[in-house]
Structure 1
Amino acid sequence: SSIRQQITFNVKHSLPISYLHVDAVSSDTLLIIWTGADCIQSYDVFINGTNVNTTNGMSLLYNTGGAIGSIDVLVNSVDYYGRAVGNLTTQYQFNKYNFEVEAIISKYIILVIIKDKFIIQQPAPLSCELTVTDLTQSSMDCLSKRLFIFTNVTEGDVYNYTVTITNVIGSSVKNGSIATPYSPVEVRPSEVQYSPSAMIMTSPSSVMESNTPASSSSRNYVPPWTVGVLIGAVAILSSL
């Protein structure tokens, strides 16, 4: 006798990985993680074009041997027939943290801005410190803050700043100087001082008005020559 049984098979298509991520766990070790694959037998991991490992897991710890710089990572998906069905690749910047600093100077204000150079994959910063000389608070944590405003500055002074950001590779340092300008001097015209001695004052009593009427004594005044004329006339009449 024989037994017959119907069995239904669901045949899946092999799907390669759809996500690939690289992270630095120490100064010489990378953690490579991938997900999203289905019906895959194994994965070939390539670093800078060289096959460094074949695994059926979903992650790999890779020792860089102390090398730093740009690292190309490729993970190839292999199905159960031994065929490569797809891959993902990424580039990891295994370097010290990359950033720049901008200082903006106003009249009595200094702005320090820390600008991250946005690289998709690089070792994350572990610490960040900003120091500025001759300030009340000379050292500040900048790990989660990127803009600093200083108002307790003195015009004409020079302030030196240093930004240190550290990751698993090491510390990256940027520094510079900030010179606060002097305020412009406002020049006003000097006031003219007038001396009383330089001014000529005219007394009202010294001014004679032409329309002032003559006094009574001036109306009774007889000039001396009229007296002589009268005496001469009397002498002539007496001789006749």
Structure 2
Amino acid sequence: HPVDMDPLLEIAKEKDIKIIEDCCQAHGAEYKEKKVGILGDIGVFSFFPSKNMTVGGDGGMLVTNNEKYGEELKLRRDHGRKSKYENELLGLNFRLNEIQAVIGREQLKYLEEWVEKRREIVNFYNDIFEKYPKVKTPSEKEWAKCSYYVYTIQIENRKSFIEYLHKEKIATGIYYPIPVHKQPIIEKIYGIQPKLPVTEEIVNKIVSLPLSPLLTDEELNRIKISINSYMGGI
């Protein structure tokens, strides 16, 4: 879900702060009818194989409307080279190979179609859970258009719900089982581990259901039957 960017952009302008948008799970999402990634100074996208579009392996992309940033980023992705034997900046090898680039360009042609299919499936799931008010489903602000990398709900008795679906050969996921503030590196850096009770409560309830534009009506109906069967038995 896109963040409400206008207040952030106002603060950034007032304080002369640069904004980098993390769009790694938001391919095709929109904020007030504008694509995410072009609202700040730089937008960052991931093409990891599980994302809404990929390149047949690890990969990513930076986008910017700032010509100066764009030129520097081009150098830094290729060892800082201005020409084959001339290194102007410190850089590393972040180049995408040609085969991966071709896959990405082809997938980009279908991104809008895939986003709409994902949104249809989200509405399908929301309709199922509408009659189960204790299950919290994703919400969408009126100024946002989500591209739904995952469909995540909050449900009590998560363990039994997952076990039931797995018994029915339906996959689930937890994104993510360990919240950021609980990661070991946080305590190593800051010497403490923050207490965030709301986050810690929610992380024990979240579960994600299958979400792919390749899901068939038959598969979705089987998921629906299994969910209703479980919910009717608790």
- Please tell me whether Structure 1 or Structure 2 has the larger radius of gyration of its CA atoms: 1
TM-score by length of 1: 0.18
**TM superposition score normalised by structure 2:** 0.18
Q: Which structure exhibits the higher relative contact order, with contacts defined as CA atoms closer than 8 Å and separated by 6 or more residues?
A: 2
Give the helix-richer structure, 1 or 2: 2
